[in-house]
Structure 1
Amino acid sequence: MPDIAILGSGMGGFGAAYRLHAEGITPVMYDKNAYHGGHTASFKDGGFIFDQGPHISFTKDRRIQDLFADSVDQMYETMQVNLNNYWRGYWPQHPVQLHMHGLPEDVIVKAITDFVEERQAPERPIRNYADWLLASFGQTFAELFPMQYTRKYHLTTAENMSTDWLGPRIYRPSLEEVLRGAISPSAPTVHYITHFRYPREGGFMSYLKKFVPLGNMKLNHELVAIDPRKRQLRFSNGVVANYDALVSSLPLPELIRMIQGAPRDVCDAAQRLACSTCVLVNVGVNRDDLSKSHMTYIYDDDLCFTRLNFPHMFSPNNAPAGFGTIQAEVYFSDKYKPLTGSPEDWIEPVIRDLRRMGLIREEDQVVFRDARLLRYANIIFDLERADALKTVHGYLDDLGIAYCGRYGDWGYMWTDESFKSGELAAQKALAALAACAA
């Protein structure tokens, strides 16, 4: 039986364990934390449950739907998603390009005028995300909304981003759809998320429940070095472990840093890979009618957070009866906007801005407050990413180290995509072992 090691115990890691289990192999799974789950983890404190970010399952893949449903014994909520935006005191539905009704008249007129002029103009070359936005929406809408959100969420400019990540994430409307959304408050919503599932008990982490036994879990194992020649792992607690095949869901900059003998160009490429760091501020309030939407996108620079979600709306068991919860995302990046101070420094600014927006009223009692740091949050698809990633992945392929998940593939992955990425990485490891045996 081969010794296959998996680094990390999030969705990607458990996807790999699931695939290996199908071959009768129990991998050893290592995680530096005292808990499993990675960014899929959930935490309970004072009767409140918060996930590590706004996790919901909206996969259309029936196989993954069934796997997750079975993991929670079919105990999940199914909800029609409700998303909105906050822009300069206005609350348009999401996506804004289909719901401009109620915005200032001069903004609507100028946005539609630019939209029409752009559609009539000669086709522009698409060199970056900014070009794509201008071609899709015209200058006024592009600058007021997606370009502004890009600076808050991706922490760089649209001119410095590729279009590799887009997929179905931003909807390009027709003129008829734009006009209908500008004159009617009940324009149809078109979005890649329509419905989602969420575990009834225990937070999003519950979707991993039946996958945990598939691996030999080693918690509190912080990796400090990999010797690819000896196929050996060394941990900060003194443990040294050998492997026949290795699957990693660790962030690529961390993984490359620990590989003994990694070439200078590979190390430099790994450091050019950009991502955001997120401070998650979790708030509990003695009122549950905080929002009609599950998630709100924030555009204003003078509000410290970029996105809000309301966990008590995902499942009533995420908060005590009658209480509501808000999770705010405040973004930073080592490359573009470094975090200074501690995560706890952002609790009061978040609460202050929630009050400014009217989400927390003067008479409301904030009964829970907490801040958590996500060192790796979202991949930033800047113009350096593609070449740097090619160098890093090429080196790992040469070493026979399979990679998976958002931070191993270094991509914009949803939950189901991360799980399937782990399955593919495990298959790659199995194929390499078979080739060696032959």
Structure 2
Amino acid sequence: MKKITILGSGMAGFGAANLLKKEGVDSIIYDKNQHYGGHTASYKFNEGYVFDEGPHVSFTKNERVQKFLADSINQEYETINTVVNNYWKGIWIKHPVQCNLHDLPKELIVDCIKDFVHAMHHEYGEINNYADWLRASFGNTIAENFPMEYGLRYHTTTADNMSTDWLGPRLYRPKLEEVIYGAISPTTPDVHYISHFRYPTNNGFVNYLNPLPDLTEIVLNHKVTKIDPVSKTIYFDNGKEVGYDGLVSSIPLPDLLPMITNAPADVVEASQQLACTKCVVVSVGIKRDDVTPAHWSYFYDRDISFTRLSFPHNLSPRTVPEGHSSIQAEVYFSDKYKPMTGTPDDWIEPVIKDLIRCGLLREDDDIDFKHAMYIPYANVIFDLDRKANLEKVHGFLDDVEIRYAGRYGEWGYMWTDESFLSGERAAQKILNKVTSD
């Protein structure tokens, strides 16, 4: 077999290249960027800060992937017990809110418990969307004040326009005893689905991809403009043309489908209806090391610019200069539901203002680093249109034997290990086809 071509050098491309290497098959990766890593990229700045492209941690339970990633960085990682909190109308609340109602207004606590009990004993009937699921799981008061509000800010669309296909263990469903205990006690057991995680000690999250250059040939600065699945040819914006024997793509589906020669118009249109959030990530460095003990925080108030914060200095001390802290804020938009306003840099000062407002920054803090980054593909939106459109797109790609992988190829809510395994599966499909032929 000749070389298998992989488009994209993120975690999915990593998984594909690794499997092919193990099977003795050569591969080559093309990436449009000047660096490899895709959405897994990390950026070092001269000021001594390291920021990932949004928050990334590894908490896989898959022992094989866990060992592989640890070996990739020579066992040089931090093992961290997760600290997560929430900010709601000036109150800091341990995560998840439904188990930690203690500091909320007393009238609200009563309504939360009353509606939670009602939901336990009320038959909601068919669950047609995420809003139905939330009301049935937590009762109206918790649902409306917390996950529905956060979901609108994170997904940019309302809960009644979302499916439940993405949930998994992400939203904890407590017992009544846990809700009551969290209402009367200021301290509660930790029940977050990520109890602990790993993070590379050095160079940011992309360090996990250290072995990639030894697994495959990597060609950077090559942006795909056209793919002809009949002649099996890929065309790049620099005029280069290459043939392929098998193809794995992690290119986002809305970008990929218009590139494919003679793709049916209805399939291309379906790809354009797949929704995702776009994110402005604002990164800030502070000459102070006691900003927060949290690893990330969720924000529910609509008048706060960011939806989530993460704190890289709490992941590894080598992401910041000694004695400093770092904050990364996520501001979400989407073409379909909430078009972006302003430029990325326009969001730096609003973010800093809101960091001061919620008490994480002080008016007199010495901020020695500010940076804004635009991420055109952040999180897949599981709106009610997704399933039918995705089936149409994937069906066509299966027919023309373009194997899709990763968060934006499978168009799913994938964590690190899931993206890696997705790349492996895509590569295995190519090997299976060769064997069957």
Q: CA deviation at 1:409?
A: 0.5
The answer to whether the 8 A contact 2:247-2:402 is kept is yes
Q: State the alpha-carbon separation in 1 of the partners of residues 392 and 3 from structure 2.
A: 28
The answer to whether the 8 A contact 2:112-2:139 is kept is yes
The answer to whether the 8 A contact 1:252-1:270 is kept is yes
Matched ranges for 1:191-230 at <5 A: 191-230=192-231
The answer to whether the 8 A contact 1:155-1:337 is kept is yes
The structure 1 segments of at least 4 consecutive aligned residues displaced by more than 4 Å after TM superposition are none
The answer to whether the 8 A contact 1:43-1:49 is kept is yes
Instruction: Give the secondary-structure state (helix, strand or coil) at the position aligned to 2:363.
Output: coil
Name the amino acid aligned to 2:305.
C
Q: State the alpha-carbon separation in 2 of the partners of residues 52 and 123 from structure 1.
A: 40
In the alignment, does 2:147 pair up with 1:140? no
Instruction: Give the secondary-structure state (helix, strand or coil) at the position aligned to 1:47.
Output: coil
In the alignment, does 2:93 pair up with 1:92? yes
Name the amino acid aligned to 1:6.
I
Q: State the alpha-carbon separation in 1 of the partners of residues 116 and 71 from structure 2.
A: 47
Q: CA deviation at 1:388?
A: 0.2
Q: State the alpha-carbon separation in 2 of the partners of residues 288 and 86 from structure 1.
A: 21
Matched ranges for 1:7-86 at <5 A: 7-45=7-45, 46-86=47-87
In the alignment, does 2:437 pair up with 1:427? no
The answer to whether the 8 A contact 1:12-1:419 is kept is yes
Q: State the alpha-carbon separation in 1 of the partners of residues 382 and 100 from structure 2.
A: 27
Instruction: Give the secondary-structure state (helix, strand or coil) at the position aligned to 1:92.
Output: strand
Q: Residue by residue, what CA displacement relative to the aligned partner does 1:289-348 show, whole Å, maximum 9, x if unpaired? A: 101110000000010000000001000000000010000000000100111321111011
Matched ranges for 1:129-278 at <5 A: 129-278=130-279
Q: CA deviation at 1:359?
A: 0.6
Q: CA deviation at 1:66?
A: 0.7
The answer to whether the 8 A contact 1:124-1:131 is kept is no
Q: State the alpha-carbon separation in 2 of the partners of residues 250 and 349 from structure 1.
A: 32
The answer to whether the 8 A contact 2:82-2:197 is kept is yes
Q: TM-score, normalised by structure 1?
A: 0.99
Structure-1 residue corresponding to 2:2? 2
Structure-2 residue corresponding to 1:362? 363
Name the amino acid aligned to 1:406.
R
Instruction: Give the secondary-structure state (helix, strand or coil) at the position aligned to 2:93.
Output: coil
Instruction: Give the secondary-structure state (helix, strand or coil) at the position aligned to 1:135.
Output: helix
Structure-2 residue corresponding to 1:299? 300
Q: CA deviation at 1:433?
A: 2.3
Q: CA deviation at 1:119?
A: 1.5
Structure-1 residue corresponding to 2:110? 109
Q: State the alpha-carbon separation in 1 of the partners of residues 17 and 3 from structure 2.
A: 12
Q: State the alpha-carbon separation in 1 of the partners of residues 26 and 43 from structure 2.
A: 27
Q: Residue by residue, what CA displacement relative to the aligned partner does 1:104-127 show, whole Å, maximum 9, x if unpaired? A: 101100111111112222243200
Name the amino acid aligned to 1:300.
D
The answer to whether the 8 A contact 2:2-2:26 is kept is no
Q: CA deviation at 1:279?
A: 0.4
Percent same amino acid at aligned positions? 58
The answer to whether the 8 A contact 1:161-1:381 is kept is yes
Q: State the alpha-carbon separation in 2 of the partners of residues 121 and 67 from structure 1.
A: 47
The answer to whether the 8 A contact 2:296-2:308 is kept is yes
Q: State the alpha-carbon separation in 2 of the partners of residues 216 and 73 from structure 1.
A: 22
Q: State the alpha-carbon separation in 1 of the partners of residues 431 and 53 from structure 2.
A: 31
Q: State the alpha-carbon separation in 2 of the partners of residues 174 and 348 from structure 1.
A: 42
The answer to whether the 8 A contact 1:400-1:432 is kept is no
Q: Residue by residue, what CA displacement relative to the aligned partner does 1:383-408 show, whole Å, maximum 9, x if unpaired? A: 00000000000000000111110000
Structure-1 residue corresponding to 2:123? 122
Where in structure 1 are there 5+ consecutive unaligned residues?
none
Name the amino acid aligned to 1:7.
L
Paired positions, count: 436
The answer to whether the 8 A contact 2:21-2:215 is kept is yes
Name the amino acid aligned to 1:4.
I
Q: CA deviation at 1:378?
A: 0.2
Q: State the alpha-carbon separation in 1 of the partners of residues 24 and 51 from structure 2.
A: 35
Q: State the alpha-carbon separation in 1 of the partners of residues 99 and 157 from structure 2.
A: 25
In the alignment, does 2:423 pair up with 1:389? no
Q: CA deviation at 1:101?
A: 0.8
Q: State the alpha-carbon separation in 2 of the partners of residues 196 and 311 from structure 1.
A: 13
Instruction: Give the secondary-structure state (helix, strand or coil) at the position aligned to 1:354.
Output: helix
- RMSD of Structure 2 on Structure 1 (CA): 0.8
Q: Residue by residue, what CA displacement relative to the aligned partner does 1:66-109 show, whole Å, maximum 9, x if unpaired? A: 11111111110001000000000011100111111111101100
Q: State the alpha-carbon separation in 1 of the partners of residues 207 and 414 from structure 2.
A: 19
The answer to whether the 8 A contact 1:245-1:433 is kept is no
The answer to whether the 8 A contact 1:290-1:359 is kept is yes
Q: CA deviation at 1:431?
A: 1.2
Instruction: Give the secondary-structure state (helix, strand or coil) at the position aligned to 1:281.
Output: strand
Q: CA deviation at 1:174?
A: 1.0
The answer to whether the 8 A contact 1:304-1:353 is kept is yes
Q: Residue by residue, what CA displacement relative to the aligned partner does 1:357-387 show, whole Å, maximum 9, x if unpaired? A: 1111012111000000110000000000000
